[in-house]
Amino acid sequence: SRPSYKWQRVLLKVSGEALAGDNMQNIDPKITMAIAREVASVTRLGIEVAIVVGGGNIFRGSSWAGSSGLDRSSADYIGMLATVMNAIFLQATMESIGIPTRVQTAFRMSEVAEPYIRRRAVRHLEKGRVVIFAAGTGNPFFTTDTAAALRCAEINAEVVLKATNVDGVYDDDPRCNPNARLLETLTYHEVTSKDLSVMDMTAITLCQENNIPANLASGDTSPSPEKSPDESPVRRWTTA
């Protein structure tokens, strides 16, 4: 029998910004490789990993809506397509180091990836494949954070792990306020009442209603051999 870990199936949310790193390009291959290596080390333990990728490094619907007559829905569809680009890049990187990976899109792009089929996604995970969910929820006006919460609930993953470009949840924006305090543990109520913009509210309430804990992990995935994985900051929010 294999050892049991805290989680058997996790949903990793990789935001677009995390993929960009410090690179002036939209995607930094060093980052995708670092993510692939971390995922490999987790799947080797027998833990199942599903990923929801964002697209903010390429296109964010809300910032483009309105320009040149672009309506919000069209802008959001472009945003969803951006997540597919990231998903394919990440898949290629993972497979280059031998991690079997499937991409499933929320709307059909059959030549490029499988359509999202819940039971099939679960089957892939059971077989030790990583599943990357792309195109968010498939609906405009949503975000990939919400897609992460939704897919997590659907596939019965135990936790949403959000990889982003901050090292935790602060009580204010640490990039603007040097006195911003790092919060170790938060309840969903605190997140919503203090309007902490760590994940969008739709995602937070979906997690809350389904008792899904969310952890925020630093997007500092730059390969740094001197740093042991145990030191990587992961902040836990309780679902109390």
Tell me which of 7, 8, 17, 40 binds ligand UDP, using CB under 6 A. 17
The answer to whether the beta carbons of residues 105 and 135 sit under 8 Å apart is yes
Helix-helix angle 201-209:144-154, to 10 degrees: 20
Residue 60 binding ligand UDP, by CB under 6 A: yes
Tell me which of 21, 54, 168, 219 binds ligand UDP, using CB under 6 A. 54
Q: Among residues 125, 97, 82, 105, which one has the least CA distance to residue 35?
A: 97
| Number of residues forming the site for ligand UDP (CB under 6 A) | 24
Tell me which of 79, 157, 159, 161 binds ligand UDP, using CB under 6 A. 79
Q: CB of 150: closest distance to ligand UDP in angstroms?
A: 8
Alpha carbon distance 52, 59 (integer Å): 16
The answer to whether the beta carbons of residues 13 and 160 sit under 8 Å apart is yes
Q: CB of 145: closest distance to ligand UDP in angstroms?
A: 6
Tell me which of 101, 144, 208, 221 binds ligand UDP, using CB under 6 A. 144
In the chain the first and final C-alpha atoms are separated, in Å, by 33
Alpha carbon distance 47, 4 (integer Å): 9
Binding to ligand UDP (CB under 6 A) within 92-131 occurs at none
Closer residue to ligand UDP (CB): 3 or 69 = 69
What tokens appear for 81 in the block?
Answer: 């397509």
Which residues of this chain interact with ligand UDP, rule CB under 6 A? 15-17, 54-56, 60-62, 75-76, 79-80, 82-83, 136-137, 139-140, 142-145, 147
